[in-house]
Structure 1
């Protein structure tokens, strides 16, 4: 019987070792193409992609080292997190290098010195080192210290190298994203059921968070990479403002943008709920958004470019005298704070990325027009001949009289 690529559920490693071996081999081939012998990975999403490690240790210094001649990557991080690395990954003990606590936020010791010592010990060569210069947790100070500590090494910008590799999801990854999608649907259903005029925005956010963590009866959830956005009334024209303790009231739209998270994989969803009877102008606005997203989704298939998809959307909403300044969507997958986006392809007029089977996106045709907004979105994965929707909640304005 052939072994499944999926590991057991619960707190075990998400995938079998063969899945991680495949990912690492792909990264090494790209390293060879770029003439990089050592790759330093600091983006938590990429560390998770190559090892399965998903603990919240990214607020302190940690790096995954991939060398072309080493079988396993080497993790360098804080000693107390080494326990989680051993449990969550297939890495052998000698590939987990832990520094002591006196390196943490210290004015006397620098964890970069620890990393450099490990590099010199384990790496057969350090001729050309790739670093993720734009990663959220790779600081300018770290980069300058590495250059000073390794003066004979050529440093290469490997920003987004792993991100572009993981943009194409394996069948095993897509299955986990389906699980996230099921929880996302439950979050929106709970929000729709709970929303009422006498409720505060923060109370509705609590409903969404409860389902995010509780998940479903079959699937547990964890915290997402971004907080939910719960915006009501005139604040629906703001995409990323925090919720408040204001009472929602009647005759009011509510924008809910959120995502479930399953083993750090996301499936974002947004819906607009209207409490009371919406004016005809608002119904027309919502209908235009739905018409545009449906047309754009119909175009999704391998071989089509992101720009072509955006062009269809732009043409449809232009018929209604509308224009969206921001991008229509972005690639999704593994995510850690501050974002569930992969920072690679965007569905926008200038992006010529060609869609391929296994790519996943959040199509986000949100319109924020000053003091009013509508957000009705869809997460999907590109299939062999079209797309598969990761969330199933109907795409329409939800009206609660």
Structure 2
């Protein structure tokens, strides 16, 4: 029989920080009239319990109840070891369901297992909050819960945990700074690799290599979003990646939006590159983007609303006859695929969210115009008196 030396469990945060998070969640639940909260977003599950595994393709959840001292993490039996190794709660609060709940989901579903658990704890007659609008809770799950818990009252608790995640702790900021160092190294190497005749897929491979190797001192993790790196006229699109057969050409524009990831914390960064001598149109557009970015960054400080930041950017580019319809920034930090946004506050018109110290954003002042696009972005932290960029990289149009 094989025997292994069991390592001591080391969590990304102290138990006390997790407990403070649970306390804040319960306070928000009480304010919203929620007695039980079922969390299915993997980033929110991680934030509350520490759970971290590639298991989010099957139903799972973390339950927070006002009547329970600790959260309860419910996962697939196959993932039980992953859960016990990464969560901070006592073993009894990590519960596994067998695979039969996955075999015929129209007949027997994981939500039946969760519903039976709630009934066993006499929590089924309470007001139950659900993350309705998330990638990891669908209509079938909801219908299964309704059928299993016909006497329950369900409340939309979408983003309840997300909003609590907004102001980062010192340890969270430390992880975001490490992610920033990873993406800076990756961006440098990627820009240096771009050359006439170089395959786009080769540059993409180098990006993945650098994101995972990390800084040397710190290794990286898989990011929540694949590298965005269109070239040529594809830069007019906001979310193209590389082409499988394409090679870089003289006189070609391209940009790269990347993020390092450390302990699931992200720090996105975007830079635009031109191969050869850039035309005046591209150079002038880049100058406008950088000017608008700088003006918006200067506007940020505690007490300012998100819409005021967006207006500073919009007013700047309006001087040049340009307008950006889409939001130009969003909260960022802890995340899992398919996105790295935290889905709460945005820099957009009408966004009344007031900025507070240690909120973190990806400021995304990209312009996608007729036939081309330019994007130069920063990840930032709101400070006590203004803001600072977590990403540290030359803010310019790069020429290869």
When the two structures are superposed, what TM-score results if normalisation uses the length of structure 1?
0.95
Q: Is the 2:258–2:268 contact (alpha carbons within 8 Å) kept by the matching residues of 1?
A: yes
2:97 to 85, 96, 99: 99
Shift of 1:67: 0.7
Distance in 2 (CA, whole Å) between partners of 1:156 and 1:285 is 46
Tell me which residue corresponds to 1:34: 32
Tell me which residue corresponds to 2:222: 223
Structure 2's unaligned 5+ residue stretches are: 1-7
Q: Is the 1:332–1:362 contact (alpha carbons within 8 Å) kept by the matching residues of 2?
A: yes
Q: How does 1:22-171 map to 2 (within 5 A)?
A: 22-107=20-105, 108-123=107-122, 126-171=125-170
Question: Comparing 35-44 with 125-134, which one deviates more in the overlay?
Answer: 125-134
Tell me which residue corresponds to 1:6: none
SS at match of 1:336: coil
Distance in 2 (CA, whole Å) between partners of 1:345 and 1:238 is 24
Q: Is the 2:75–2:83 contact (alpha carbons within 8 Å) kept by the matching residues of 1?
A: no
Q: Is 2:272 the counterpart of 1:282?
A: no
Shift of 1:126: 3.5
Q: How does 1:291-370 map to 2 (within 5 A)?
A: 291-370=291-370
Aligned residues: 391
SS at match of 2:340: strand
Q: Is the 1:305–1:355 contact (alpha carbons within 8 Å) kept by the matching residues of 2?
A: yes
Structure 1's unaligned 5+ residue stretches are: 1-9
CA displacement 1:7-61 (0-9 Å, x = unmatched): xxx9831001000000000000111112211100001110011111121111001
Distance in 1 (CA, whole Å) between partners of 2:27 and 2:144 is 28
Tell me which residue corresponds to 1:7: none
Distance in 2 (CA, whole Å) between partners of 1:293 and 1:124 is 49
Shift of 1:121: 2.1
CA displacement 1:312-368 (0-9 Å, x = unmatched): 111111111211111110010111111100111110112111101111000000111
Distance in 2 (CA, whole Å) between partners of 1:376 and 1:57 is 34
Tell me which residue corresponds to 2:14: 16
Q: Is the 1:97–1:118 contact (alpha carbons within 8 Å) kept by the matching residues of 2?
A: no
Q: Is the 1:204–1:230 contact (alpha carbons within 8 Å) kept by the matching residues of 2?
A: no
Distance in 2 (CA, whole Å) between partners of 1:104 and 1:197 is 50
CA displacement 1:80-106 (0-9 Å, x = unmatched): 111011111112111011011222243
Q: Is 2:263 the counterpart of 1:267?
A: no
Shift of 1:124: 5.1
Distance in 2 (CA, whole Å) between partners of 1:115 and 1:306 is 38
SS at match of 2:333: strand
Distance in 2 (CA, whole Å) between partners of 1:382 and 1:11 is 33
Distance in 2 (CA, whole Å) between partners of 1:186 and 1:370 is 32
Shift of 1:264: 0.8
Distance in 1 (CA, whole Å) between partners of 2:337 and 2:9 is 20
Distance in 1 (CA, whole Å) between partners of 2:238 and 2:329 is 14
SS at match of 1:103: helix
SS at match of 2:332: strand
Tell me which residue corresponds to 1:394: 394
Tell me which residue corresponds to 2:385: 385
Distance in 2 (CA, whole Å) between partners of 1:126 and 1:88 is 31
Q: How does 1:194-273 map to 2 (within 5 A)?
A: 194-244=193-243, 245-273=245-273
Distance in 1 (CA, whole Å) between partners of 2:11 and 2:103 is 30
